[in-house]
């Protein structure tokens, strides 16, 4: 199956680390070119933006759920805080109509406010762990939603309609790169080691003088910051937000992306978010019909009549079933604890290689 040619190509590709910045620059170029020259139709552009926003959400949730090993259900709540902050800023405070350049400021503000809200979850996490912390995050989500519903000045249960469509492809791409870059640097820093040690054994890491409080504090704030950013971008794509948009189902969606992709893996979160979002879109009846239109009529017609026309309802039945099957046969997700080697800093890769060589020599000496 995995022949040597495949492994060689993979190894060669993994060594070409200069490709990553080239790809990022190409991505930026494309992000500017696609809307400018209409290279893809509006619908595909929209899907790409949702994929980008979901990547930000999945990577930032992975920091808490994957690397730190907690189970947070609050991500949609932080997203709501960011979305409402930035939407209110662009609608009521900032003169965005005259100066569109102020939009990133609104998104940034949304992220910062969400990070402050992250404290509400971070502080109880000093003492509480596991299932009970999961409940605190759930309570946070419900309280945020319920508060928004009860404040009439920000629309109450009706939400905020008529938000300007300010999110553009380059901005989404910029924030995707930023979130991956920042979280990647955090994870491989001193604090990142601390985050991993908290996951493996909190008491032991405390004893080894890891400042677990500061580590949790930083991880939660960073995670909620990017959730807020994603919320701000999301509000200005969807152009309408209401408390119902950010309920437990939204949190569940993000959780599914993270665990589908695999915990403690940025590459996994990127893949998980992309696969989940794109699959859900492909299962829409019109898209699916376009996808299989090459089939001969004798096959296509019955398929269309008995299957595709009903997909609008049944795709939400098929997706969770597929998820359950993936989890049963692939419990660690697509990337589970592995990582794109381009994301791993060179020193870590070298150290790892050295370590495995050492190990194998050790084993060999044992066998003699």
Partner 1 sequence: MSEWIVYGLQQLLNALQLGSIYALIALGYTMVYGILTMINFAHGDVFMIGAFFCFLAAVYLGLPFAPALLLTVVGTALLGVAIERLAYKPLRNAPRVSAIITALGIGIFLENFTLALAPYPKHIPALLDSTNWDLGGVSLSSLQLIIICLSLGLMFLLDYIVHRTPVGMAMRAISWDKTFVPLMGVPVDLVISVTFAIGAGLAGAAGTMYGLAYPVIDPYMGIMVGWKAFISAVVGGIGNIRGAMIGAFILGGVEIMVAAALPSTYRDFVAFALLLVLLIVRPYGILGSPRIQKV
Distance in angstroms (rounded) separating the CA atoms of residues 150 and 148: 5
| Span from 38-46, 102-110, 135-143, 227-235 in contact with partner 1 (CB under 8 A) | 135-143
State yes or no: residue 140 binds partner 1 (CB under 8 A): yes
With tokens 């680390």, the residue in question is: 17
224-253 residues in contact with partner 1 (CB under 8 A) are 248-249, 252
State yes or no: residue 209 binds partner 1 (CB under 8 A): no
Strand partners of residue 160: 241
State yes or no: residue 314 binds partner 1 (CB under 8 A): yes
State yes or no: residue 147 binds partner 1 (CB under 8 A): yes
Residue 241: phi, psi to the nearest 5?
A: -130, 145
262-301 residues in contact with partner 1 (CB under 8 A) are 263
In the complex, the smallest distance separating the C-beta of residue 83 from partner 1, rounded to whole angstroms, is 19
Beta carbons of 49 and 172 less than 8 angstroms apart: yes
Distance in angstroms (rounded) separating the CA atoms of residues 237 and 47: 11
State yes or no: residue 136 binds partner 1 (CB under 8 A): yes
Distance in angstroms (rounded) separating the CA atoms of residues 189 and 79: 26
In the complex, the smallest distance separating the C-beta of residue 295 from partner 1, rounded to whole angstroms, is 25
In the complex, the smallest distance separating the C-beta of residue 57 from partner 1, rounded to whole angstroms, is 16
CA distances from 166 to 28, 97, 112, 239 (A): 18, 10, 19, 9
The encoded tokens of residue 234 equal 């999301």
| Span from 29-37, 106-114, 274-282, 310-318 in contact with partner 1 (CB under 8 A) | 310-318
Binder of partner 1 out of 131, 200, 297, 363 (CB under 8 A): 131
Nearest to 84 by CA among 71, 93, 73, 97: 93
State yes or no: residue 196 binds partner 1 (CB under 8 A): no
CA distances from 168 to 43, 238, 309 (A): 13, 12, 33
With tokens 């926003």, the residue in question is: 53
Beta carbons of 118 and 270 less than 8 angstroms apart: no
State yes or no: residue 132 binds partner 1 (CB under 8 A): yes
Binder of partner 1 out of 22, 290, 316, 351 (CB under 8 A): 316
Chain positions contacting partner 1, by CB under 8 A: 65, 71, 124, 127-128, 131-132, 134-136, 138-140, 142-143, 145-147, 149-150, 157, 203-204, 248-249, 252, 255-256, 259, 263, 313-314, 316-317, 319-321, 323-324, 327-328, 331-332
């Amino acid at each position: 199956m995995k022949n040597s040619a495949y492994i060689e190509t993979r190894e060669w590709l993994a060594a070409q680390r200069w490709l990553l910045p080239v790809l990022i620059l190409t991505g930026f170029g494309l992000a500017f070119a696609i809307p400018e020259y209409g290279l893809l139709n509006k619908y595909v552009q929209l899907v790409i933006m949702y994929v980008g926003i979901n990547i930000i959400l999945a990577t930032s949730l992975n920091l808490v759920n994957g690397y730190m090993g907690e189970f947070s259900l609050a991500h949609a709540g932080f997203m709501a805080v960011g979305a409402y902050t930035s939407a209110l800023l662009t609608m009521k405070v900032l003169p965005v109509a005259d100066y569109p350049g102020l939009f990133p400021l609104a998104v940034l503000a949304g992220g910062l406010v969400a990070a402050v809200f992250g404290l509400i979850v971070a502080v109880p996490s000093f003492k509480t762990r596991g299932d009970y912390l999961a409940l605190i995050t759930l309570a946070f989500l419900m309280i945020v939603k319920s508060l928004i519903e009860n404040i009439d000045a920000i629309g109450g249960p009706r939400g905020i309609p008529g938000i300007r469509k300010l999110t553009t492809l380059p901005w989404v791409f910029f924030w995707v790169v930023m979130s991956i870059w920042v979280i990647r640097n955090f994870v491989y820093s001193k604090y990142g080691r601390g985050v991993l040690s908290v996951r493996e054994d909190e008491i032991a890491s405390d004893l080894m003088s890891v400042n677990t409080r500061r580590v949790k504090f930083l991880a939660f704030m960073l995670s909620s910051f990017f959730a807020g950013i994603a919320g701000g971008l999301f509000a200005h794509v969807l152009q309408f937000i209401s408390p119902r948009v950010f309920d437990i189902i939204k949190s569940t969606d993000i959780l599914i992306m993270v665990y589908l992709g695999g915990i403690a893996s940025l590459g996994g979160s990127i893949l998980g978010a992309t696969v989940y979002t794109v699959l859900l879109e492909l299962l829409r009846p019109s898209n699916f019909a376009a996808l299989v239109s090459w089939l001969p009529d004798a096959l296509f017609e019955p398929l269309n009549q008995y299957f595709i026309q009903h997909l609008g309802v049944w795709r939400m039945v098929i997706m969770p079933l597929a998820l359950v099957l993936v989890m049963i046969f692939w419990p660690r997700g697509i990337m589970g604890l592995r990582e794109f080697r381009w994301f791993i800093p060179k020193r870590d890769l070298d150290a790892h290689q050295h370590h495995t060589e050492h190990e194998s020599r050790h084993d060999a000496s044992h066998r003699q």
